[in-house]
Amino acid sequence: MAKKDNNQNRFRWKMKLVYGMALLLGVMCCLKILHLVIFQRSIFEGSSERCLDKTEENWKDSPLAHDTTCNCFVINNDVKPIRGEIFDDQGRLLSGNFTVFDVTVDGTRLQPKVKQIGKIKTVNDTIYCGNGRNISRNGEPAKVNALIQELAEAFYQHFHYRFPNKSVTFYKQQFTKAIKDCKNVFILGSNITKETQWVTAADTAFIKTLPLLGRKKQSVLNCSQATVRINPYGEMARRTIGLYTDNQKFGVENAFNSYLYGENGSRKYVVYNRARIPLGDYVEPTEGYNVHTTINLEMQNIVHNELQKTLISSMAEWGCAVVMETATGEIKAIANLTRDEKNENVYRDGVHNYLLTAMVEPGSTFKLASLLAYLENVKDDTTRIYPVMAHTFSVPNRSGTRVNKYFKVDKPGHAEEQGKPIDVFQRSSNVGIASMIFDVYSYYGYKQYLNKIDSMFITTSFSTQLGKVNAPAIKRNAKDFHSYYNACFGAGFSMTPVQTLVYYNAVANGGKMILPLFVKYITNQEDTIERFEAEVINEQFCKPSTISRARKYLEAVVYGDHGTARGYRDPAFRFAGKTGTRDIWNEALGQYDYHKNSVSFCGYFPADKPKYTCLVFMYNVPQKSYVAVGVFARIAKAILNSASYGAVQSIDQSKEKTLPAVPFLQPAQLQTILTDWQIPMKVPSGSPYVTVFRDNNNQPQLKSVNFDSKQPVPNVMNMLASDAVYELSRKGYKTRLVGRGIVRRTEVDAATKTVTLYLSN
């Protein structure tokens, strides 16, 4: 009995000890909480005198900044906003945000589980693959190897087109480390600068269907994500759209970064003894605004493809082509293509913006500037006669004591001929155009000639939305005959192609000279923030009579009996412009290389009522300017014959606006049309595309398209080429376009993952 009482007493004392310790711990916790709340609250709020606030401007002047014992800091972490997106003139995405992933397998979670109950120790080495498939690591080594082989082959089959340097052996080694050695292993990483090596959400969805990697409970798969910029239409207008990264800043992305970036949010933290404690001060980031460009994807596709085909056939070093809406200055299409150093048949858009920055000799396209300077001072140009093709210029010296003779010939072997100014211009005679200028401004009137061209803003600098354009590098104080003579036809000095485009457009625009416009307006999620219009350089840069006569000269280049562009005259449509060919200066030899040319054509179409002005320039080709005329003519025909141009004409001419039948149309694009045309129709939802069709009463009807974007190869039949390219690029396919219009037939090359789209109207 006594023994039992002793045990009870001993138990009571133990319980009292436990209760006492718990009470003591609770009291100590309460005291610590009171101490923190009363005495150290200011530290964790960041307001203590012992805390260095690094969010203040002059924090470096604080004594605490030099106190090595200070262990309390207030810091501010920026929260980056979602970057705005860039659209074409119809609201289609040109540059947007895209999520990519890096794939890691955390093999540490596959380590055998060890349990010990008393002296009994058990080890669970089972690998749980999901769907009831379980493998014993030590008991079934063959099945473990089979799992590794299965995963390696699945990754190789799915990714080897995008990651050709990753072999089955590589994947097998990585999965062996993860599964057998239980290590955290990096499998694949997205190359942010290379779209063909991105791991997308579709890829991670595939990975999660694989054994072991698809487990939700205690998952071993880690897919860390990053946001990159995507260009759904690949190379088209990439240099103009641009980039904004740490290493590359150019194009619309750079020029409008202040709009696209948005505003950083912020969150304050207190760092105390390395502990990071968030404060209540949190500012939400402001999303970036969206930029709506003047680019039209259909026209861009035409310009890009026509220029690229000719560059390849001519083996040119580079080329640019641009289409500008004459009345508004809007750039509807622009291509800046450079030959790839590794593959001579590949041209890429994104290296240089040749239109704005390439300083090249303009060649004979500059003869329009000389013609304008001539016509401004000549009332009757129909009765004058000038030498053509060859002539000996007799130039007296300034004192009149001696006459210097200079023989000039356009082409070796030609004798001197005579012709009217319009004959000189259509035949592109250097001798003739110089004779016209000397007749009006004299042999010593070089400065007066330059002053006249300057007064028409042809040789001045200006700024565009994408940056400053430098003034032509023309000799200003030259006193020798040759510099004056060469300047008359665009030789011996350099200027950018865009300056040629601007004054040609002014002639097409009745004398109103405007700068090119690349961006129309800025929007947020709800409204338009800012609109832009082309800057007017001069309302009438030369006399209306001069413009009227000059346009006849430009038409004669195409339709005259000796016009240098007469090979591309077409009764179906009329265009006007001027050819240009210049030999390329060889710095090493100190002379012109007569086997290498820069060729160009600048003009407008239709000739009677100009809608668009177009410039084509190609550098380092063996041919003459007729190849540039060919590109211009094909671009002009395609644009005039395109459905988009027909729709524009019908809208302008019809009071009642009705929807045409369209097999595939994006809902956002359709909603914009309905709103602008004030058509009371509701856009159906549930599909990324909508079709417009006519019912039995010939009335337009709308319905969602049964489009399955989850198919391995999306069915893009009857889509616009731009939409088809976008959908296929999302699945990692390259595309090749044949023809123009909508998709009528497709061919899939599984080996190269390339889809050929056959198009027709």
Q: Which residue has tokens 């990975």? A: 207
3-state secondary structure of 481: helix
For the chain, the farthest-separated pair of C-alpha atoms sits apart, in whole angstroms, at 151
Look at residue 68 and tell me if it is in a domain: no
With contact defined as beta carbons under 8 Å apart, do 276 and 269 qualify?
Answer: yes
What does residue 267 show for φ and ψ, rounded to 5 degrees? -140, 125
Q: Residue 227 in 3-state DSSP?
A: strand
The span from the CA of 602 to the CA of 498, in Å, is 10
Dist. CA 334–CA 462, nearest whole Å = 19
Q: What is the CA radius of gyration of the chain?
A: 36
**CA-closest candidate to residue 108, choices 208, 181, 189, 170:** 181
> Which of residues 595, 622, 647 is at a domain's end?
647
601-633 residues labelled b (16+ CB within 10 A) or e (exposed): bbbbbebeebbbbbbbbbbbbebebbbbbbbbb
The residue written with tokens 């939400």 in the block is 284
Residues 391 and 419 in one domain: yes
Q: Indicate left, alpha or beta for 426 from its phi (over 0: left) and psi (-120 to 50: alpha).
A: alpha
Q: What is the model's pLDDT at position 653? A: 41
Which two three-digit tokens encode residue 32? 């610590």
Residue carrying the six token digits 């300056």: 499
Return the bridge partners of 222, or none: 104
Residue 563 in domain: yes
How would you write 252-288 as a 3-class SS string?
HHHHCHHHHHCECEEEEEEEECCEEEEEEEEECCECC
pLDDT of residue 651: 40
Q: Provide DSSP, 372-420.
A: HHHHTT-S--SS--EEESEEEEEEE-TTSS-EEEEEEESSTTPPPEEE-
- Cβ atoms of residues 418 and 374 within 8 Å: no
Cα within 13 Å of Cα(694), Cβ side: 8
Range of the domain at 115: 97-236
As a residue count, the chain comes to 761
Q: Given CA atoms 442, 448, 450, 456 in this order, what sign does their dihedral have? A: negative
pTM: predicted TM-score of the whole model, two decimal places: 0.72
Q: Which of 198, 216, 236 is the last residue of a domain?
A: 236
Q: Quickly list DSSP for 157-195.
A: HHHTTT-TT--HHHHHHHHHHHHTS--EEEEE---TT-G
In a domain, 25, yes or no: no
CA-to-CA distance for 292 and 522, rounded, in angstroms?
A: 6
Residues 485 and 528 in one domain: yes
- Is residue 488 within 8 Å of residue 430, measured between CB atoms? yes
The CATH number linked to 412 is: 3.40.710.10
Pinpoint the alpha helices (H) of 473-523: 481-487, 497-508
Q: Are 582 and 490 in contact (CB under 8 A)?
A: yes
Instruction: Note the pLDDT of residue 99.
Output: 86
Tokens of 248: 């590359």
Cα-Cα-Cα-Cα torsion 480, 483, 488, 490, nearest 10 degrees, comes to: 180
Per-10-residue mean pLDDT for the chain, 761 residues long? 66 80 84 64 59 74 74 74 90 88 90 77 83 86 92 92 91 93 91 83 90 84 86 82 85 92 79 69 82 94 93 93 97 93 82 91 96 95 93 86 90 87 96 96 94 95 94 91 95 95 97 96 89 95 96 96 92 91 82 86 95 96 92 93 50 52 70 71 72 69 70 77 78 77 79 79 59
Q: What's the Cα-to-Cα distance from 674 to each of 296, 523, 669, 702, rounded to whole Å?
A: 19, 19, 9, 12
- Cβ(604)–Cβ(614) below 8 Å: yes
Hey, what are 65's tokens? 């900044």
* pLDDT of 245: 81
119 inside domain: yes
Structure tokens at 580: 């240009």
Query: Distance (Å, rounded) from C-alpha 241 to C-alpha 501?
Result: 20
pLDDT tens by residue, 394-448: 998 877 778 999 999 998 878 889 999 999 999 999 999 999 999 999 999 999 9
Instruction: Please tell me the number of Cα atoms within 13 Å of 32 on its side-chain side.
Output: 6
Give me the phi and psi of 7, to 5 degrees please. -65, -40
Rounded to whole angstroms, the Cα distance separating 174 from 179 reads 9
Note whether 219 and 334 are same-domain residues. Answer: no
pLDDT of residue 5: 66
Same domain for 637 and 693, yes or no, is no
Q: Is residue 135 part of a domain?
A: yes
Nearest to 338 by CA among 379, 308, 383: 308
Residues 506-562 pLDDT 10s: 999 999 999 999 999 999 888 889 999 999 999 999 999 999 999 999 999 999 999
Same domain membership, residue 513 and residue 384 = yes
* 700 within some domain: yes
d(CA 43, CA 398): 88
Beta bridge partner(s), residue 106: 184
- Buried b / exposed e across 670-695, counting CB within 10 Å, b at 16+? bbebbeeeeeeeebeeeeebbbbeee
- The strand order across the sheet containing 265-272 reads 52-53, 72-79, 265-272, 275-283
Q: Are 334 and 237 in contact (CB under 8 A)?
A: yes
Place of tokens 């994408």: 466
Phi, psi values for residue 676, rounded to 5°: -65, -40
Would you call 659 helix, strand, or coil by DSSP? coil
Which phi and psi (to 5°) does residue 403 adopt?
-115, 120
- Claim to verify: residue 381 and residue 433 sit in the same structural domain: yes
> Taking a C-beta distance cutoff of 8 angstroms, is the pair 84, 260 a contact?
yes
- Helix, strand counts (H, E) of the chain: 21, 37
Residue 271 is assigned to a structural domain of this protein = no
The DSSP call for residue 432 is H
Three-class secondary structure of residue 742 per DSSP: strand
SS3 686: coil
User: Which of the listed residues 647, 679, 713 is the one where a domain comes to its end?
Assistant: 647
pLDDT score, position 721: 78
19 class by beta-carbon count within 10 Å (0-12 exposed, 13-18 middle, 19+ buried): exposed
Say how many domains are in the chain.
Answer: 3
Does 330 reside within a domain? yes
Note whether 388 and 498 are same-domain residues. Answer: yes
The answer to whether 31 touches 39, Cβ cutoff 8 Å, is: no
The residue type of 560 is G
- 565 and 712 in a single domain? The answer is no
Q: Which of 694, 671, 666, 669 is nearest to 681 (CA)?
A: 671
The verdict on 603 and 699 lying in the same domain is no
DSSP string of 213-257, one letter each residue? TT-STT--EEEEEEEEEE-TTTTTTHHHH-EESSS-EEHHHHHTH
Are 555 and 675 members of one domain?
A: no
Nearest to 578 by CA among 561, 596, 560, 555: 555
Q: What pLDDT is recorded for position 648? A: 43
Residue 56: CB atoms within 10 Å: 12
Task: Looking at the structure, tell me whether residues 700 and 581 fall in a common domain.
Answer: no
Residue 89 CB coordination number (10 Å)? 18
Residues 345 and 489 in one domain: yes
At 345, the amino acid letter reads N
For residue 403, with 0-12 CB atoms within 10 Å meaning exposed, 13-18 middle and 19 or more buried, which class applies?
exposed
How many Å apart are CA 79 and CA 282, to the nearest integer? 9
In terms of C-beta density within 10 A (0-12 exposed, 13-18 middle, 19 or more buried), how is residue 116 classed? exposed
